[in-house]
Amino acid sequence: MIGASLSRWTMSYFSVALLSLLGAEALMVSGFGFPSRPITAPQTLVLVHLTVIGWLSLLMSGALIQFVPVLVAKPLAHPDLPAVALALLLIGLAGLIAGFLDIPGISSTSMPWLPFGAMVLSAGFVLNLWNLGRTLWSARPMGLPARFVVAGLVSLAGVVALGIVFSLTLARWTTSEVLTTLTAHGVALHAALGLGGWLGFTAMGVSYRLLAMFMLAPEEKRWTSRIALGAGTASIVVLLVGGPACLLFGLKLDHVLVVALLMASICVVLYGHDVVRLYRTRKRRHMELNTRMAAVALGGLGIAALLLLALAALGDVARYIGAVVFLVAFGWLSGLGLAKLYKIVAFLTWLQCYGPLIGKRATPRVQDLADEPRAMPWFWLYFASVGAASVAAFLDTPLVFRIAALGMLVATAGICAELVRIRTLKSVPTPMLPEGVQARPRLILPSLER
């Protein structure tokens, strides 16, 4: 098989991910968690995990089960395993959130939600890691984007392992001195590996390929890309190995974090250089909405990286880290995710509805399923609101942040409505509508027939 098949569960991952994003934004509007509450408050932990697992990790997992086969030109090792993984991830996330709310001062029940949630969640991630890992392993030697994904998956394994340790320690299921030390001082490692290694590095790898595909830009083997891969991987290894080792030997974690930050900065600069080059050398002169918005998201990454370096130089990271993380999560990763969703949902819907009709009758283009002028204002509102919310988080003005978060919520709801329009073929002229069973694809669940 040379081609990759259509992933049956990707749309389910995307749907749940978008619901989680809407939920997280609604919580921010209501003043739940950061910046209205401290960064270590249980409410903030709920908000962070709903965003990072419920939204970003499900989005990334759904994208990977579709695009890893594209990256390596091999079918997914276990096509239906993602359904089991999704169920475990959702149950685990619910358990984890219940566990955070169970921390004294919020509410108290006898159920050990935190370790239960962490273990079920880990089982879900492990299933996807196994599935994607086997698919990638079968396609050695791998190309550059796939190697980014491998490093991202290794990072995810580290995040999951640390998460289990934290939950067992916090639930007092273990009193091991080593694990207690890791829990007390390892949160920065957990966050850096999760946001930077798993989500960030994987997004970089996937975007190398997607941007080249969608803009018809040449995918040249460049030294900048190879060094970006090397520096990013080194950063992940430093965090994964050096971080715990430092803590176990009683050394301060700061040096490890600074080295990892420097390596990651090299990676980000070279990645940025490569992406700008992809835009400049694209053959397709007209840029679609998704590529324009991806460029705005990349700007968010650039600003966040500069801010983090400046704060590290000034020794003021701890005070503003919440705002920087917000900009990375919502400005870059979420912005890029929403932009690419707009394209990927149209592409998958087209394949579902019109793929079987190729050669039998005239078919519309993928672009005909989307109505870019309608969707564009929502994207601009989203990025403007994220910008305002980031400034509010830096200036520690929670009320302004909540108003800006309302803008994000409205914009995301607008983008979701546009995605539903794509799925229901609302923009396709009547004569071009497909006939028969595939005329209206299911929004969330896959059709059971193959």
Partner 1 sequence: MNGSSELVGRVREALREVIDPEIGFNIVDIGLVYDIALEEGGIVKVTMTTTTRGCPATDFLKDGAGEAAHNVEGVQSADIRLTYDPPWTPDMMSSAAKQYLGIR
Which residue from 174, 363, 397, 427 is in contact with partner 1, where contact means CB under 8 A?
Answer: 363
- Residue 351 Cβ vs partner 1, minimum distance, rounded to whole Å: 6
Q: Does 285 bind partner 1 (CB under 8 A)?
A: yes
What does the block give as tokens for 175?
Answer: 């009193």
- Residue 209 Cβ vs partner 1, minimum distance, rounded to whole Å: 8
Q: Does 141 bind partner 1 (CB under 8 A)?
A: no
Q: Which is nearer to partner 1, 9 or 55 (CB)?
A: 9
Instruction: Give the whole-angstrom CA distance, residue 325 versus residue 429.
Output: 43
Q: Does 208 bind partner 1 (CB under 8 A)?
A: no
Which residue from 40, 111, 218, 395 is in contact with partner 1, where contact means CB under 8 A?
Answer: 218
Cα four-point dihedral sign 362, 431, 12, 31: positive
Binding residue count for partner 1, defined by CB under 8 A: 37
What does the block give as tokens for 162?
Answer: 């640390």
What does the block give as tokens for 127?
Answer: 């299933």
Q: Does 424 bind partner 1 (CB under 8 A)?
A: no
Picking from 71, 81, 61, 65, the residue whose alpha carbon sits closest to that of residue 17 is 61
- Choices 165-173, 293-301, 331-339, 349-357; region in contact with partner 1 by CB under 8 A: 349-357
Instruction: Give the whole-angstrom CA distance, residue 354 versus residue 339.
Output: 23
Which residue from 6, 101, 269, 312 is in contact with partner 1, where contact means CB under 8 A?
Answer: 6
- Residue 358 Cβ vs partner 1, minimum distance, rounded to whole Å: 3
Which residue from 9, 166, 214, 379 is in contact with partner 1, where contact means CB under 8 A?
Answer: 214
- Residue 141 Cβ vs partner 1, minimum distance, rounded to whole Å: 14
* Residue whose tokens read 């250089």: 273
Instruction: Work out the angle at residue 167's Cα, subtended by the Cα atoms of residues 165 and 171, and round it to the nearest 5 degrees.
Output: 120
- E strand or H helix that includes residue 20: helix 10-29
Q: Which is nearer to partner 1, 5 or 40 (CB)?
A: 5
Q: Which is nearer to partner 1, 4 or 411 (CB)?
A: 4
- Residue 69 Cβ vs partner 1, minimum distance, rounded to whole Å: 6
DSSP assigned state of 447: P
Q: Does 289 bind partner 1 (CB under 8 A)?
A: no
- E strand or H helix that includes residue 55: none
Instruction: List phi, psi (to 5°) of 208.
Output: -50, -45
Instruction: Give the whole-angstrom CA distance, residue 324 versus residue 175.
Output: 34
- Choices 214-222, 272-280, 398-406, 433-441; region in contact with partner 1 by CB under 8 A: 214-222
Instruction: Give the whole-angstrom CA distance, residue 105 versus residue 123.
Output: 29
Which residue from 63, 71, 151, 182 is in contact with partner 1, where contact means CB under 8 A?
Answer: 71
- Choices 55-63, 268-276, 352-360, 426-434; region in contact with partner 1 by CB under 8 A: 352-360
The helix/strand/coil state of 2 is coil
Task: Describe the crossing of helices 289-314 and 202-215 by its angle, rounded to 10 degrees.
Answer: 150
Which residue from 40, 73, 276, 433 is in contact with partner 1, where contact means CB under 8 A?
Answer: 73
Q: Does 366 bind partner 1 (CB under 8 A)?
A: yes
Q: How many CB atoms lie within 10 A of CB 318?
A: 10
Q: Does 439 bind partner 1 (CB under 8 A)?
A: no
Q: Can the peptide bond before residue 35 be classed as cis, meaning omega within 30 degrees of 0? A: yes
Q: Does 69 bind partner 1 (CB under 8 A)?
A: yes
Q: How many CB atoms lie within 10 A of CB 157?
A: 18
- Residue 274 Cβ vs partner 1, minimum distance, rounded to whole Å: 18
Residues that bind partner 1 (CB under 8 A): 2-6, 66, 69-74, 213-214, 216, 218, 283-286, 347-348, 350-351, 354-360, 362-363, 365-368
